[in-house]
Structure 1
Amino acid sequence: MAFQELLNQVGSLGRFQILQMTFLLICSSLIYSHFLVENFTAAIPSHRCWVPILDNDTVSDNDSGILSHDAHLRISIPLDSNLRPEKCRRFIRLQWHLLHLNGSFSNVTVPDTEPCMEGWVYDRSTFISTTVTEWDLVCASQSMNSVAKFAFVIGGLIGHILGGYLSDRWLSESARWLIMTNKPQKGLEELRKAAHMNGMRSSGDRLTMEVVRTTMKNELEAARTKLSPRDLYRMPNLRKRICLMSLVRFVMWLSITGLMVHLQHLSNNIFLLQCLFGIVSIPANVAGNCLLNYMDRRIGQLLLMFLYGFSILATLFIPQEMQTLRIISATLGGAFCSAASTVNFVHANELYPTMIRATALGIISVAGSIGAALAPLFMILTTYSASLPWIIYGVLPILGGLLVLLLPETRNQSLPDSIEDVENE
């Protein structure tokens, strides 16, 4: 690989590269925290229908002071299949006879109940206020909570599109990209800058335009042809790589976002689960990078995406009463998805030639953002089955892992510098 020879002269991994990665990590940490905050700002607290005998401050002591709160609740709100107060319905009339059933519960016909006509009462012991309590996004309006999350995450899609045009304001441009886009003088300046920051000033000063042009001669000749994004799909191997990786990124981020913004559905202690996710993410990413040294890109992704998918499915079938086991399973899922993302990002960067890498990765990122934006909408399916969205979130990464096998292996392979390198493989 021609450019690697130039990079070795200025320091392939030194202070310059470390500073660039540090800046990117800071930006990424600020971005992803906004996605995770949805677990708290859009949390759904326990709720029930508002009923006059319990919640009307004007009710007299003679009307409500004799019976306990639980007794009033029993005669005002029907019980669900788990013998807990219904969240979305109440009795049309007070059912006084239920006080004399000694714990048994007689079936109540549909005409005896009605929706929450006068609003809801929320448990504010954990969350004083959320978007759900402010706008009553429960029961018949519960799907609007998913729509609100969709509107929030769609900003990530817009950001991926706009970010490509704004990124050069903040980071040094890639010397490889500058050279391949017929800007060798600027590319030489960036190489010298990197050499100086890496403590290799003498090596940088020895770099000349003649050295750059001679080393990158073949790649520069191939880069003279200007290509549009539409042209990328006219080349069989390149089209295959972009389409397959876009599909993998789509299903991966659909599942990961579905997990990350719906932690409340996995555990009663959302604060503990969120902390555990944060704790395991760093070692999981380190483990993902270490895995790259010992395992092929395809097999690594396949293994991690399988483990992630099965962790989600396992959490689904663990009873709610076994909270510790559910938290462990969900935390493992969070670790596996972090590691899988790391391997996927590396694999995607190694698949495409320099001159169109930014365009190809932009297309793939947009596909991932579309998947992330659609993830909250799948929770609308809970109106049919509470398990259905989680089955989808668990099965999709397994299918994505299988799709990775259709892509070429890039471990210990030279990065392609031109489209011809891809098409002639």
Structure 2
Amino acid sequence: MAFEELLNEVGGLGKFQILQMVLALPLVGIAACHILLENFTAAIPGHRCWVYILDNATGILSPDVLLRISIPLDSNLKPEKCHRFLHPQWQLLHLNRTFPNMSDLDTEPCVDGWVYDHSLFSSTIVTEWDLICDHQSQKSVVQFVFMAGMQVGGFIYGHLSDRFGRKLILRCCLLQLAISGTCTAFAPTFLIYCLLRFWSGCSAVAIITNNWMLIAEWTRSQSKAMVIMLITCAVSIGQMMLGGLAFVFREWRTLQLVVSIPFFVFSFSSRFAVTVPLYGISMNLQHFGSNIFLFQVIFGALTTLARCLALVVLNHKGRRPTQMFFLFLVGVSILANTFVPPEMQALRVALASVGITCVAAAVTSYCVHCDELMPTLLRAKAFGLDAMVSRCGSALAPLLMTLVVYLPTLPWIIYGVFPIIAGLVVPFQPETKNMPLSDTIQDVENTKRVSREAKDFYIKVTKF
């Protein structure tokens, strides 16, 4: 029986397909934001040459008068954007509604920089790196670089998706776009900005196409047209979303962050989400007080006790409830600490101690659960992939502290939100308490089936 015939037998548009679309369509919409991002982050505001007599001096003359003697007019009788008078043209003060031949007056390029109109955008990459006048073509270069990244990413990730599966490549691309997009917001030079946008383009196209394929391939023929229409609508909704976000966030680095950070949420795994708060707390001891020597010893002792505590809870409550309990406590303790005033040091240290204790217990719980979930056939590869994701989380933790320039509590809010969201994902994994280690993938499937049947049996007996 063909796969599509099997879909028709079991129902080609059921709960699974609907849930899949609910999770996939927001990804497509936000990825579409990245494609059109330069409409706002690379917008060219009004500008003119910087002139000392006009921008750095005070006097009795009005700005309009100083502008008239400092900046020539273009063919539309508007101030030139790329040239200024070599010397102030005082004779222009005595002309009434007449316009002299500007070609007879000596002008020069904007050798001292430009003055930008910030009424529409507080900053863009154009104002950041002066991509105007002789360098105005650089904006097109940025857009070309991103589209070139989409071309390269479509070819490479398309091949890898067919070889290793849609979901694996999709998760990798989600993490790639999250990292590249976030790093773009901190790009120190135009060249680095272009390289990061190229990298973002590679992953953005894979996110859209892989979600497209996942939805279409799991839908029967009668419903394919409708779901594809929904995917294309998600792109249009992403365009509207970008317009609204750009209206609210007028600074280009902030807008770049807003459309990039959500992909960390979508690419969550328990290990990505556990190491972020772990290293966020462990590597920022000065945030909790001045005696960092004592804190280092106390936190080390608490994590030792926590790992022993995790063993007791794991044996009595199971793997999933233990992970959820500790992950939620981590998030709540960190979020609560963000609202405690600095002068209440005792309370801040207490909440930080709870956080570091629970995150250590969550790490131990996760390691036990992960070891029992993976079959022997794939355990080494799985732990290698797990270690790679964990290192991404540990590398991200100190990077997030750079966000304090926008809001001092923002990194800590992110540290607290990560484990809470990860805790919500844990119930989707099978329970492995008192189950034998699996040797093959088929054993894992049997474990999931037994766990599900045991749950159903428990519900029926309870109802009876």
- TM-score by shorter chain over 0.5: no
TM-score, structure 2 as length reference:
0.39
Structure number with greater CO (CA < 8 Å, separation at least 6) is 1
